[in-house]
Amino acid sequence: MVSRMFRLVTEVDRTRRDLLRTRLRETNTTASSVLRALRDTPHEREFPLHVWVLDDRGALAGGLVGHTWATWLHVTYLWVDDRYRGTGLGSALLAEAERTARDERACAAARVETWDFQAPDFYRRRGYEVVCVIPDYPPGVTEYTLVKRLA
């Protein structure tokens, strides 16, 4: 009966994606007093937060790409060139992003996802706690989600 009434389509469609996002946002805002309270505040939207380390020639030695939303810093990427690993650049990048998020954007917490072969111990040493472990994502790899209170 469902197949006669509906047609399932598998295709990339940005217009439908945007409509779906809008409708989901409306549904979520209606269902959650917390999301309703975020409406029309500075914390309602995602704001990019990027921190870069350049070497003496201006070349990229490392960087952090993330964003802030709803009083949270979300670290999307953190990378340091092999030549500079172990020199404190990763710690400096993360500390600057946390400082900016806390002091300039009123964030109270940070989150990051990382794989087992990347940096879960790096984040743990900087006060992050594992809140989620997903084995075999992708197959053969474990993904960790870590969080830290900034205040």
With bands split at pLDDT 50, 70 and 90, how would you rate the model's confidence at 17?
Answer: very high
Render pLDDT for 45-99 as a digit per residue (tens, 0 to 9). Answer: 899 999 999 999 999 999 999 999 999 999 999 999 999 999 999 999 999 999 9
Average pLDDT over residues 120-136: 98
The model carries a pTM of 0.86
pLDDT at residue 148 greater than cutoff 90: yes
CA distance 36 to 41: 10
pLDDT for the residue 36 = 86
Q: Which residue, chain included where needed, has tokens 């809008």?
A: 22
Render pLDDT for 102-127 as a digit per residue (tens, 0 to 9). Answer: 999 999 999 999 999 999 999 999 99
Which phi and psi angles does 49 have, rounded to 5°? -140, 115
